[in-house]
Chains A and B, each alone.
Chain A
Amino acid sequence: MEKHVHEHVDSVGTYVGVLLLLLAATVATTLVAFVDLGDFSVVVALAIACGKMLLVALFFMHVRYSTKLTRLVILGGLMWLAILLLLTLTDFATRGWGGASVV
């Protein structure tokens, strides 16, 4: 039986700090969108979003204190989403399907 580790009470300051980071990241991602980064734009946008997700998960959802099983469950979910996206893309990326130019 694993030791229950959730009784860490974070300080208000921790949460405020995370909130400010999240808000700043939102402003950043909005402003960066107006800069021409070509194909790299979407990478940056997703990277910032992933960063925000990590902050919310680790601090607000207390994943930093969670059990290994919880983390395995989360990882599994994300991996499965990746499987859905990637294997579906093996079809669309290799079919030369640029969509139709239908009006």
Chain B
Amino acid sequence: MADSHANIEETLALREQFDTEEQQKDASTLGMWIFLITEIMFFGGMFAAYTIYRSAYPTVFGVASSSLNVTIGAINTCVLLLSSFTMVMAVRAGQLGQRNMIIFFLIITLLFGCVFLGVKAYEWTEKYEEHHMPGQVAFHLEGTPLQGPAKIFFSLYFAMTGLHALHMVVGVGILSFIIWETKKGRYSSAYYTPIDIAGLYWHFVDIVWIFLFPLLYLIDRHLPK
């Protein structure tokens, strides 16, 4: 077959610019991984700010951290880990070409994600009611005279969990799209790359939370309140 200027019929699994389906899959996967490391650097800036300020104000950060509900935080962490489990099960179903299983696991993943976001909204509301939001005029954290640094902790708390939540929302959107595409029969065991790379994104957002939980919720918990 002459290696002509274009594939006459471009398919999802083999787009025009690629020679083989394997090349396309490799390229897509590499592309997603590179995107994930841009995300490492994106969140990384906030982790840098966190590191600097926690070492400068260790006591205040401990007091502020204790005002967070550790049980809820831990449960939410487990919810996200469960969602990663169901996500990889969806990818596995993709590898096996089991359309209904794909949809089943993706929907569960999506539900877990929504649960996480719902709990987050509840936590944030609690913070608002306790006057722990930095923009509030009546901001006050009990247990420390350093209200300024306390505001910095909560600035970081809201910025980091907020950015994470934003990524979760995008993830929910991506999953919805993938579920829709799966329903339309777009994927098979020969081509399930979008599920695979959506999974990579989802797991990455989970990993970010794996670090956020101890860093925000578990500072100096051994100290008496």
Contact = CB atoms under 8 A, between A and B. Distances in A.
Whether A and B touch (Cβ < 8 Å) is answered with yes
Interface of A: 1-2, 4, 6-7, 9-10, 12, 15-16, 18-19, 22-23, 26-27, 29-30, 33-37, 41-42, 45-46, 48-49, 52-53, 56-57, 59-61, 66-67, 69-70, 73-74, 76-78, 80-81, 84-85, 88-89, 92-93, 97-103
Interface residues of B, number: 57
B47 A33 contact: no
B12 interface: no
Given A30-B70, A46-B214, 13 more contacts: A12-B89, A19-B82, A26-B77, A26-B213, A33-B214, A41-B222, A56-B210, A69-B30, A70-B29, A70-B33, A80-B37, A99-B56, A100-B148
Contact of A61 (B146, B147, B203): B203
Interface string B157-169: 0000000000000
B41 A80 contact: yes
B26 A4 contact: yes
Contacts of A88: 48, 51-52
Interface of B: 22-23, 25-26, 29-30, 33-34, 36-37, 40-41, 44-45, 47-48, 51-53, 55-57, 70, 74, 77-78, 81-82, 84-85, 87-89, 92, 95-96, 145-149, 199-200, 203-204, 206-207, 210-211, 213-215, 218-222
